[in-house]
Amino acid sequence: MATVTAKTEETMKNLRLSVSMVDGSLLPIDYESGRELIQGLLSDDWGAPPRHLRIEVETGDGQTVRIFIPYSDSTEATVRIEDDRQ
């Protein structure tokens, strides 16, 4: 599960990624920037260059939460919450 918190001055300041292990520990996914993270996920074999990594969650109450990690050396990810209930 990804959490939006501060980590260190050297990484994206408002995003921390980790994998929850069955023994209860967390395995951090370390990266210096969104560019480094996305390159690690895609390798270098893509067609058009990426703009950002988008993580999207639809909640049970009808909201959509989107986290955008820019493909740049930017130090901030952005979050958008939309209420899809009509």
Query: Residue 55: CB partners within 8 Å, gap ≥ 6?
Result: 2, 66, 67, 69
Domain membership flag for residue 10: no
**Residue 3, pLDDT score:** 41
Domain membership flag for residue 53: yes
Domain membership flag for residue 3: no
Domain that holds residue 31: 17-83
Domain membership flag for residue 36: yes
Chain position carrying tokens 């993270």: 37
Number of compact structural domains in the chain: 1
Query: pLDDT band at 51, cuts 50/70/90?
Result: confident
Structure-block tokens of residue 53 = 């990594």
Calculate mean pLDDT across residues 20-49: 84
Query: pLDDT band at 44, cuts 50/70/90?
Result: low
Query: pLDDT band at 8, cuts 50/70/90?
Result: very low
Domain membership flag for residue 50: yes
